[in-house]
Amino acid sequence: MQITNIPKEKWELRLAAAIAIFTVFSVYEAFLRPLFKNIEEGTLPSSTLRLAVCAALAGVCFLIIRGEKFFETRPKISVKTRVVSLLLWLTFAALYFLCNVIFNWIDVVQLSIDKTISCFMVAVSAGLFEELLVRGLILSALMEAFKNSRHRLLIAGSLSAVIFGILHYLNLLFMPLSATNQQVFYATALGIVLAGLMLRYQRLWPLVLIHFGFDFQPFIIQSGSAENPWGFLLAVFVPTAVVGAIALYVMDKDMQIAGSRQTD
């Protein structure tokens, strides 16, 4: 079956496609993966299976949105937008430090070779599938849905982040509610910044790499997630969300200026 990209004007179809794709992934997580009881979680066979499923679904997302841009004409980038773009990158650098991401990488490479490869595969799976689904397919649909809004980028970017967070409730299959709520919270905050970077540069591969970096840690191949104090999460991820929202708001101003020039 040949899949052709859905015209961006048909944003409802894009959202429907995104729901269908995530439903397929949910069925795999809830029903198909447990059927492979002889494949121990966190081993190379289970990680390879997950990578195959996620790569296939990410490929479907790519076929739907391939070759498209968020803006017909790239708006002139103001100094303010360049500054907030730098803040987005600095935010991720700070998060890598505060969340001990680099130390997680060191811990991973100190595992046995098969577990290191398994961590790599699962992190690649998450980066590819989630970025192509959310920052690719869903965000493109929302940008079209709110194309007439003065705050198009802020609304579409924030909504895509909320959806990104909510999708993590699927982890209730393997995690307690308290840990899942934390994951939903910080995924939403991260999603706002990721949306800002996507709309600023219109490139998915840097986001896949950033996402991979966060997930390349020794706990990724285990069911469950360690909980953190809510005070720490609020102190780190509320400012993260604020920086992302400010960036989207400033970029909206560039779009408004570009629009007013076209109508003159």
Q: Give the range among 20-24, 57-61, 155-159, 222-226 with minimum mean pLDDT.
A: 222-226
pTM of the model: 0.91
Mean pLDDT (the chain, rounded): 88
Mind listing the pLDDT tens digit for each residue in 28-42? Answer: 988 877 666 555 566
- The torsion angle over the Cα atoms of residues 69, 70, 75 and 78, rounded to 10 degrees, is -120
Token pair 């970017």 in the structure block, residue: 157
The whole-number pLDDT of residue 262 equals: 45
The whole-number pLDDT of residue 31 equals: 81
Quickly state the pLDDT bin for 2 (edges 50, 70, 90).
Answer: very low
Q: Mean pLDDT throughout 77-86?
A: 92
For residue 115, pLDDT over 60 is answered with yes
Q: Mean pLDDT throughout 210-228?
A: 81
The whole-number pLDDT of residue 77 equals: 83
Q: Mean pLDDT throughout 98-113?
A: 91
For residue 220, pLDDT over 80 is answered with no
For residue 224, pLDDT over 70 is answered with no
The whole-number pLDDT of residue 17 equals: 96
Q: Mean pLDDT throughout 169-175?
A: 91
